[in-house]
Structure 1
């Protein structure tokens, strides 16, 4: 009688696409996002560098430039991700490519969330506490605060640079594992990894809700005077909330469901469906690269006027101030009159 080998748990098997047709659809969506978002973000970066000269500006331009930089770096990951999906895998089988992808994805997605949040916090202080001195207002005048944000995000990517993260093997019971030092260490690493993932989204979302509620209340209480700046602030924080609600909250909920499926050892069919849903919502989160330009427009009327005058001049005529490209930091001392339709 021939003894058949006993199947063992293999992370590669856990990373196989359960429905190849569905994952090819996910790949097509990522390719479309890449094709649409890359020229859009490249044009935005061109304006920040050559027209607004963000490094000489005392406004939110420094934060917004870092936001578009994070989006562009994230976009370069999408073709590689799409290629692995087309090949029937949830992640690359190459260890180096896999870790590099996880590093780029989580660093730049974290940076995008961080700079969206910082922009909203800055607007909150300007609207709700206009006369109060705060550390953010002092730091945003120099690029050091942006560099510090990037440096703080680097150690947060270390727990996620593991192959079994993307395939969600956290806290998975393997065989007849008993309590041992190796199991305990694995549980600690898994828990740390998940804490990083959820905290990157949940904490900023709570901050954004707080800022949005107080800015809206401030607008309602203001009965006299010009409300234009307050309305613009409401538009800004509302647009950020929409970006979060569409892009990041669904994948967070799906991640939680998939973890429950792993821990409670659901049947394979349910677990596969949870994994496919999580991957789909992660693809949806990349839509953030297309929605962020809405934040740019709501945050800066100068940026909106400059963008339209450079790329869509047929939409403008002579009533809106467009910053002179020869003037650093977007100063409008020699403006050109135009009107956005």
Structure 2
């Protein structure tokens, strides 16, 4: 059905079709590029975590769960690229549409939950060094990770309980004065799972940076590297999650104000920033290297040529003198702010 732009009500517009074919064809190729880079990268990370680094022995269960979350995202990219390439923002198949949206909700929620938990752990290790760190106890238990996943599952319920137009109908039911509860709850989940964790992340990072700046022991270069460790999560969060959140708020504003022309532009900006947010599956491995030098050394010795292994391994981003062996036998230096 063609898009009827001259109609006055949103109910006559096919919202599943893209407002600009060229834009979405470009986005489809970008997503395929993310998929072709993300799949082998995350497979290699998974191999190292399981067979070389043995994450369950090195207290890196939370990092491993971020890898699992990234696989949920990578699995969705070919289907989304296919729909964009054929002029559709979402699948017209209700089951496929709901499944994809649920997986994306779950990926985003899991990535944020485990990244924030790691940041809180570093906050206690640095700012409240010597006090009991309950996060350190929790992250050693696989059961806690399972509980986090189970707690995230209810967030996908709004995507499953009813059929809504093109998986995205908030603000379009003009015949009723109130928004549908399901659609409203879905939007509340979308915003709160990003805004609240970001506030926590900024608070923890500021306190950690201030604490590190006050330290008088150690070389300044090492302290600067430690600051980069705690800032890496903020950078990934700011690039992957915040821009699309702002764009989503603008999009909903135009939709609720019934400004169709502006909404068409906002939709393209929002979808473009969402495609940009999918690079978290490419950036997260950098976080693993910053957070745990043992993983970094294991990855380098597994996949990098011998000629550059020594140079990369010597470029540590950590402090301290604690020695932790990896499966490959390479030494690993750690500090209280590094996940050991």
Give TM-score, length-normalised by structure 2.
0.85
CA deviation after TM superposition for structure 1 residue 28, in Å: 0.4
Q: What corresponds to 2:116 in structure 1? A: 117
Q: Could you say which residue in structure 2 is the equivalent of 1:75?
A: 74
| CA shift for structure 1 position 74 | 0.9
Structure 2 equivalent of residue 172 of structure 1: 172
* Residue 108 (structure 1) shift: 1.2
Q: How many residues get paired?
A: 316
Q: Show CA shifts across 1:196-224 (max 9, x none).
A: 00011111111110111011101111012
What corresponds to 1:92 in structure 2? 91
| Partner Cα separation in structure 2 for residue 54 and residue 309 of structure 1 | 16
> Which 5+ residue runs of structure 2 have no aligned equivalent?
1-6, 315-323, 333-340
Partner Cα distance (1:263, 1:132) in 2: 49
- Say whether the 8 Å CA contact 1:127–1:233 is kept in structure 2: no
Q: Quote the residue 1:216 is aligned against.
A: 209
1:244-291 deviation digits (Å, cap 9, x = unpaired): 11111110000000110111111x221100111111111111011111
2-structure distance, mates of 1:11, 1:269: 15
Unaligned runs of 5+ in 1: 1-5, 322-329
Q: Which of 289, 293, 297 does residue 285 from structure 2 map onto?
A: 293
Q: In structure 2, how many angstroms separate the alpha carbons of the residues matched to 1:97 and 1:23? A: 19
Cα distance change on mapping 1:191 and 1:337 into 2, 3 Å? closer
Give the aligned partner of residue 136 of structure 2: 137
SS for the counterpart of 1:154 is: helix
Farther off after superposition, 253-262 or 11-20: 11-20
Contact 1:317/1:337 (8 A) holds in 2: no
Greater CA radius of gyration, 1 or 2?
1
Distance 1:173 1:93 in 2: 19
The 8 Å contact of residues 18 and 24 in structure 2, kept in 1 or not, is answered as yes
Q: Distance in 1 between matches of 2:116 and 2:239?
A: 16
Residues 266-305 of structure 1: pairs in structure 2 closer than 5 A: 266=259, 268-305=260-297
Residue 138 of structure 1: CA displacement?
1.2
* Corresponding position of 2:191: 198
Please tell me whether the aligned partners of residues 251 and 278 of structure 1 are also in contact (alpha carbons under 8 angstroms).
yes
The 8 Å contact of residues 319 and 337 in structure 1, kept in 2 or not, is answered as: no
Could you tell me whether the CA contact under 8 Å between 2:52 and 2:328 is conserved in 1? no
Give CA-to-partner distance per residue, 1:25-55, whole Å, 9 cap, x none: 0100000000011111111110110112112
- Kept in 1, the 8 Å contact 2:34–2:279? The answer is yes
Equivalent position of 1:32 in the other structure: 33
Would you say the 8 A contact 2:244–2:277 is kept in 1? yes
Calculate the aligned-residue CA RMSD, in Å: 2.7
Q: TM-score, normalised by structure 1?
A: 0.85
